Structure 1
Amino acid sequence: MAAKKLSVLLLMSMALVPGLASAEEILLDPINVSGETEAQHGTLSVSGEALEDLAPKEMSRLFAGESSVMSSVIPTGNKTYVNGLDSSMMNVTVDGTLQSDGVFHHATTGMFNPALFKAATVKPGVVAADDGPRANAGSISYETKDAADLLEVGDNFGGLAGMSFDSNSKTFRSNLALFGRQGGFEYLVYGDRATGDNYKDGSGTTYRGSAADLTSFLGKIAYQWDNGYRLEFSGSESRDDGWRQARPNFGDLTGAVFPLFDTEVKQSNYALSLKNENAAGGFSPEFHLGFSSSFLNQGNPSDPSYTRALWGGEVETWNGKVQNEFLFGKHSLTAGIDFFNQEGTGGAIAGTYTDPLTLSGSFGPYTEKTRNLGIFAQMRSEFSDVFSMSYGLRADYQSFTGWDGTKISDEGISYNVAGSYAVSNAVTLEAAYSQVWGGYELGETGIINYSFPWVNYQGMRAQETENMRIGVTVNTGNWDAHFALFRTDAENVRARNSADQAQASNIVSEGIDASLGYSFATGYLRGTYTYADVTEDGQTSSTTNYYSAQPVGHILALQGAFDVATDWKVGGTAEAALSLDLAASRLPAYEVVNLFAEYKPSKVEGLTVRAEINNLFDSYYVSRATQGSDNSRVLPFSEPGRSFALYATLAF
C-alpha cells in the first residue's frame, strides 16, 4: 500500500509537468515563485503565489511542501520545528515583535492565524546580527498584510468575506476583513471564527479535545508622509476556548483517562514601527516597539471529582529596536541597539483541588524575569559581481531573576560570517558560520514549583550555540536546485524535567537540506528533502523529551500548482517520512497527499471557490512534529483522516 501511495505521489508530480505542453495554447501571465524560497544560506520564505496556493487556515498547513519545517495539528498544542529544533530556540517575531516563550511544554509556542500572513520567513542556523537577540538556532519572522496589499489599484476601500467547511471535523469557519486608505492614512480590520467537532484519523479513531473553537482578530492603522516616513500600529490576538486535554498535545494517556478541561489559550501581539519607505543614501532609520503575551489557563475539569491542582501562567514580552543603515559604496552597514524585557508568572492555582504541597510543591503565582540589552552591527558587502559577504557582531548583556529573588547576570559576544561565490551564471557556492550567545531563557511558568520547589538558580549558565552551513545553488532560469550540509550545536539548553535549574542539555541537529524546482508559463513544481539527525546529550532525541528537539530522520515534501484554464487552477502538496529507529522504538514511515482545485469565475469579479481533498489516501500517521509516538504511555494525536473542504471568498 505504501508503494502504491508513493507511486501516486510521483504520478501527481508528473501530472503537473504536462502543463509544459499546453503553455503555448494557454497564454497566461507567468507565475512568480521567486519569493517561495530564498536559497542563499538556507533562508526559506513562503510568500506570494506559493502562499496563496497553500491558503493555510492553520499553522500546521503554513509550511506544507517544505521538508525542513514542521508543525503539529492541534492549535493549543501546536509547535513549529526547524530541522527538528523547537522554535523556542529561535528568535520568533510577528511584524517585528518578539514572541513570548511557551508557558508549558505540552502547550503551543505559536498559535497564530496565518490567513492574512504576507510572508513567513525561516532562517535556520546562521542569522545576521540585526535579526535580533537569542537567535540560537536561527529565526522565524511572520509578516501580516497591509491594506495596500489587499486594495486594487485605484480603490480606496475594499473587503474580503469568506466561509469554509471541513467534512471530517465538521469545522465551519467564517471571516471578514475591511480595509481602506485616504491620502496617507490606511487601515485594516479582520476577524475570524472557527468551530467544529472532534476529528477522526485515518483509522477511524475520534480524538477528544480536538474540536475547533478559535477566534482571531487583526487590526492595523498606518500613516505615510510624502517624504516616505511610515508610522504603523498593529494588534492581533488568537484565542482558543475549547475543552482540551490536561496535556493539550496528547490525545490521551494509555493507562489513565483524564477529564477534559475548559482551557483558555491566548496569544496577543502588538507592534509600533516607524521607518522611511523611500530611504536612500546613508540615512535609513528604523524604530520598533512591541509587546506580546502568551497566556494559558487550564480551566475547570469536566469531572468535578478530579483532585489534582489546576495550573496556568502567562509570559509577557516587551521588545524594541532602533537602527540605521549606512552605505559605503558597495558596502551596507546596519547598526543599532535592541532590548527585550520578559516576565513569566504562573504555577498551581489555589482552589478546591488538592494542595500541590502533597507533591512537595506549592501554590503560585510565582514570577521569573529576564532583561536583555544588545548592540549590533552587520556589514553586507558586494566585493565583485561574483563574490559577496555578510558579516556581523553583536554584544548582549542579560540579567535574570528567579522566583525566589535570586539574581544572576552575564554578557556575551555573538558573531557571524556568510559568503557567496558565483562559479558561473548558474552555479553559486555558499558557506556560513556563527557563534551565538543566547543568554538565559525562562522556565515553564505554568508549572513553577508545581511538583518540587525550583532550586539552584546560581548554577544556571547562558545558552551558547554554534551554527554552520555549506552548500551549492544552481539556477538555470526555469530550473533551480539547492544542496547543503548543516549543523547546529546548542549548549546549556535549560532542562524542562528537573527542579534543579542548573540542569541543562546539549542538543545537536545535523544533516542535509536539498530542493529541486521547476517553473513554467502556467505553473510550478518543487520538491524538498531534509535529513536531520537530532541528538540530546549524545542520544537520539525522543519525542517526549521536553520538546526542545524532535527526532526527524528523512523527510520528503512536494508542492505544485498550475493553471488549467483562465479561471481554473489545480495543485497540491505531499509529504513522506521514512521510518526512523530510536533507542527503544521505531517511528513508522508515512505518506500524505493533499489536492486542491480553485475556480475564479471571470463573470463574478472577486469570487474565489476552492475545493480540497486532504489526506487523499485516508492515511493513519503521526507527524514528526507531534509528541508521544514513541511512548507506550501516550496516545499521540495522529493527523486527521481524509477530509473534503470547500472554501468561498468574495473580495469587494
Structure 2
Amino acid sequence: MTPGVDVINGPRRNGQTVTIRGFDAEAIITLMDGRRQNYESAHDGRFYFDPALMKQVEVVKGAASSIYGGGGIGGVVAFETKDASDLLRPGQNFGAMGGFRGRSANGEISSSASVYGRTENLDILGSLALRKSGDIRDGDGEDLETDDQVVSGLFKLGYTLNDWHTFKLQYQGLNNDGQEPNNGAGGISSSNPIVNKVVDDHQFSARYEFSNPDNDLLNLKIHAYYNDTETEEEDISGANLGRVQVRELNTTGLTVDNQSVFALSDDHSHTLSYGFEIYRDVQEGSSTATGDGTRPGVPDAEALNWGLYIQDEIELASNVGTFLVIPAVRFDQYRSEDNVGNSQNESAISPKLALSYKPTDDLVFFGSLAQAFRAPNMTELYPSGQHFPGGGPIPNNNFVPNPDLKPETVTTLELGVGIKFEGLAANNDQLKFKGAWHYSRGEDFITQEVDIFGGTTENLNIDKAILWGAELEGEYQINKFTAKAGLAYVEAKDDDTGEYLSNNVPLTLTTDFSYEFESISSTIGWRSRFATENDHVGSGEDSTAGYGVHDIYYRYAPTEGDFKHLTVDLGIENVFDKYYTKRFATLPEEGINFGARVTLKW
C-alpha cells in the first residue's frame, strides 16, 4: 500500500526484488536486522527469509544515504524480525507459537513453530519454518514451472547487564531446494533451461547497545555481522545437461553508531547522529562447463567499502510553529579488484539537507535536497566469458569487463505537504493526506549494452538522466471503517537522447477499504491496485498493458475469551483471475489465489 513501492520481476520467489520510485535491486540498500543484503545477481532475488516472524518493514524513499550507507540512490528497505518481547503478553515469561498456511495458486503448504522466553535480563527466541510449493498458475490458467522446498530458521539471544548494557546474538538461515529456470524472472527457453537450484543462506550477527535515558551523550550501537549466500544450479534440461554452476557471496560488516542529544533550551535542541561503517564482499563463481572452472558473468572478485557520516536534527519551536532542520554529510571510500588484475579505487561525498515546518500539529510542509551515489558492483565491473551462444549469422556473445565504469550519482529534490482534518462528517472521523513531488538528476547511470551482431555484452554509463514523479496518499477513518488510497507516477529519460529508461512507473493507484466488527473480533477488507499502460519504454522494448487487480481479506483475532490465542487469516487474491504483467516484466503475475493462515499462541 505504500505509494511508489512494489515487488517486481514476476511471481517466482527466487526472482523477486523490491522497487522504490522505479529504482530496483542494486540502487536500493536492503537491510535485514541491520545486515546489508549484497547478494548481486541479475537472475535472482537479493534477500532470502521467511516472513513468519517479520516485525516490520521500513521504507525510506530517495537519496537517504547519509545514515544508511553508500549505495542508496533509490532508497532503503529495512526488514526487522521479532524478538521474544514482541510475542510475549504482559506478565508472561515463556511462550510458544505455531502456524499453518495454505495457498491454492502455487499449491503451497507451510508451517512454522517458535518458542520464546525472557527473564529479568535474558531474551531468547527460536523459530523453524517449512514451505513446499509447486507450479504457479497465472490468470490464463497456464503454469509457470516452479518447485520450491524451503527450510528456514531464526535464533535470537539477548542479555542485558546492569540495565543499560545489552548484548545480542542472532543466526538466520535458509535452504531453498527447487526446480525452475536459471533466470527465475524469465520464461523457459534454450538459453534459460530448467535447473535444480539450491540456495543456501546463513547470516550471523553480534550486537552491543548502551542506552541510559539519563545519559544524553551516549546512545551507542555496535553491530558486527557475516553473511554467506550460495546458489548452486544444475542443468536438468537443455544443451548443457548436467552442468553445475555456483555463485557465492560472503559479506563481513561492522557498523558503529551513536546519538548525542543537546537540549539548549525548551525550544531548541540538537540530536547529533554519527557513525562508521565498513564491509567487505567476496564473490566466487564456478562452472563445470568451462576449462578453467570459472563461471561466465560471475567474476572472482572482492570489494571493500567504508564510510563516515554525521547528521544533526535541529528542532526549533516558536510562536509561529515548529521547525526541523536536518543537515547531514557522508564520506565513502570503496575499492575492488578481480582475480586477473582489474581494479577500481574511488571515493564520494554525499550531502543532504532536509527541512520541515509545522505551523500547527495538523499541518506540515517538508522538503529535502540530497545527493547519493552507487558504486558499480563486482559483477558489473569485471564480467567475462560467454553470455549466450550464437547461431547462424549471430556470433557467440561474450561479456566485456569495464573496470573504468563510473559510480552512479543522483541528486534529488523533494517537496511535500501533510495535513490532517478531524470532525469533517462526524465528531469522530479523521482524514490524513500527504503529497510529495520529487525530481532527480542522475549522472553516469549504469546500463547494460548487448551488441547482438558484434557479439559483446558490456556495462556502460549513461551521461545524464532525469527522473521526476509524484506521490499522493490518504487515509479516512470513521467509527470502525477505514479507507486508504495511494497514487504514484515516475517518468525517467536519458537527458541526451530523450529515450525512456526502465525506471519509469506508470500511473498506479492502490486502495484499501476495511471494516472492523468489534463484537466478533473480525476485520474484513477489499484491496485494489490499478495501473495504466506502461508505454514509456525504450527502443526495442515492449509496452505493458494496464490492469486492475483486487483482493479480499478477512482476519479473526480475539483478544479475550476461549480463542484469544488464535488468529485466522483468510483471503482471495486476484479475485477476478486477471491475467496481467507488471512494468518491464517478462512473466505474468499469479492468477486467482485462495489463501488461509492459522496461528496459535500458548
Please give the TM-score of this superposition, normalised by the length of structure 2. 0.87
Deviations 1:431-468 (A, max 9, x none): 101122433422169965344364342x2323322122
Matching of residue 344 in structure 1 with residue 298 in structure 2: no
Alpha-carbon spacing, 1:124–1:540, altered in 2? closer, same or farther (3 Å) = farther
Report the Cα offset of residue 156 of structure 1.
0.9
Equivalent residue runs for 1:460-499 within 5 Å: 460-477=405-422, 478-497=430-449
SS of the equivalent of 2:39 reads coil
Q: Where does residue 272 of structure 2 map in the other structure?
A: 333
Deviations 1:64-110 (A, max 9, x none): x23311113211111111111103112221111111132x2121123
1:469 and 1:645 map into 2 onto residues whose CA distance is 39
Equivalent residue runs for 1:306-455 within 5 Å: 306=240, 310-329=244-263, 330-347=269-286, 349-350=287-288, 353=289, 366-384=299-317, 385-443=321-379, 448-451=384-387, 452=398, 454-455=400-401
Structure 1: segments with no counterpart, 5+ residues: 1-64, 543-548, 629-635
Identity of counterpart residues, as a percentage?
19
Q: Where does residue 177 of structure 1 map in the other structure?
A: 114
Out of 512, 518, 521, the residue aligned to residue 470 of structure 2 is 512
1:307 and 1:194 map into 2 onto residues whose CA distance is 28
SS of the equivalent of 2:52 reads helix
1:111 and 1:362 map into 2 onto residues whose CA distance is 22
Q: Where does residue 126 of structure 1 map in the other structure?
A: 63
Q: Where does residue 590 of structure 1 map in the other structure?
A: 547
Q: Where does residue 517 of structure 2 map in the other structure?
A: 564
Higher RCO (CA 8 Å, separation ≥ 6 residues): 1
Q: Where does residue 395 of structure 2 map in the other structure?
A: none
Out of 76, 82, 105, the residue aligned to residue 14 of structure 2 is 76
Report the Cα offset of residue 479 of structure 1.
1.2
SS of the equivalent of 2:3 reads coil
2:303 and 2:465 map into 1 onto residues whose CA distance is 23
Structure 2: segments with no counterpart, 5+ residues: 264-268, 388-397, 423-429, 451-455
1:356 and 1:276 map into 2 onto residues whose CA distance is 50
Q: Where does residue 32 of structure 2 map in the other structure?
A: 94
Report the Cα offset of residue 287 of structure 1.
0.8
Structure with a larger share of its residues in helix: 1
Q: Where does residue 66 of structure 1 map in the other structure?
A: 2
Report the Cα offset of residue 164 of structure 1.
1.4
1:314 and 1:508 map into 2 onto residues whose CA distance is 35
Out of 512, 515, 527, the residue aligned to residue 573 of structure 1 is 527
Deviations 1:197-244 (A, max 9, x none): 2121111111112x3422221111111123322111122123321101
Q: Where does residue 620 of structure 1 map in the other structure?
A: 579
Report the Cα offset of residue 115 of structure 1.
2.3
Letter of the 2:28 partner, please give it.
M
Q: Where does residue 266 of structure 2 map in the other structure?
A: none
Letter of the 2:209 partner, please give it.
K
Report the Cα offset of residue 649 of structure 1.
0.9
After alignment, is 502-511 or 192-201 more displaced?
A: 502-511
Alpha-carbon spacing, 1:526–1:76, altered in 2? closer, same or farther (3 Å) = same
Instruction: Assess if the C-alpha contact under 8 Å between 1:577 and 1:590 holds in 2.
Output: yes
Q: Where does residue 611 of structure 1 map in the other structure?
A: 570
CA RMSD of aligned residues (A): 2.6
Letter of the 1:328 partner, please give it.
F
Alpha-carbon spacing, 1:507–1:231, altered in 2? closer, same or farther (3 Å) = farther
Question: How many pairs were matched up?
Answer: 561
Instruction: Assess if the C-alpha contact under 8 Å between 1:229 and 1:276 holds in 2.
Output: yes
Instruction: Assess if the C-alpha contact under 8 Å between 1:362 and 1:450 holds in 2.
Output: no
Q: Where does residue 526 of structure 1 map in the other structure?
A: 484
Please give the TM-score of this superposition, normalised by the length of structure 1. 0.80
Deviations 1:483-514 (A, max 9, x none): 11112333334444566767223554321111
1:574 and 1:557 map into 2 onto residues whose CA distance is 6
Equivalent residue runs for 1:246-325 within 5 Å: 246-253=182-189, 256=190, 259-279=193-213, 280-302=215-237, 306=240, 310-325=244-259
Structure with a larger share of its residues in strand: 2
Instruction: Assess if the C-alpha contact under 8 Å between 1:100 and 1:293 holds in 2.
Output: no
Alpha-carbon spacing, 1:518–1:364, altered in 2? closer, same or farther (3 Å) = closer
Q: Where does residue 507 of structure 2 map in the other structure?
A: 554
